[in-house]
A = this chain, B = another copy of it.
């Protein structure tokens, strides 16, 4: 699968969450060995009342217990916050594909410091959906990032 196909799959997760009234942030985990998406997730903080349910955490949670983390790619529509970055670093995921960091700049420095391959795609559909949400529901968004 191409990086763009993976980002499109993450975007579909973001769109699903938006349509549920949640934060439009989506994530997938990709296994290059299998050329397959092994888990998907989207932000569920509003849907489940769980402050830890950011898209990347949910996606990693959905991937279940496994030992192949150092072969996977984490894909997220938005620059990962420090919780999601920490989760990815804990499991030594070596490659991270990010849709955009215009609406939120996460802990990208931490990824780079630790040698993770960090790819920013500046995806117009990710930027537009997140921008729309932040304008519509600024309070929900601020709660998401601890403000």
Contacts and interface: CB of A to CB of B under 8 A. Distances in A.
Range class of the A interface residue count: 20 to 34
Interface stretch (A15-23, A58-66, A120-128): A58-66
Interface in A80-96: 81-87, 89-92
Given A45-B65, A49-B64, A87 B90 contact: no
Contacts of A82: 86, 89-90
Interface in A25-84: 45, 49-53, 57, 60-61, 63-67, 69, 81-84
- Among all A-B residue pairs, the 4 with the closest Cβ atoms: A86-B86, A82-B86, A83-B90, A83-B87
12 contacts: A50-B65, A51-B60, A51-B91, A52-B61, A57-B57, A81-B86, A82-B86, A82-B90, A83-B87, A84-B86, A86-B87, A90-B146
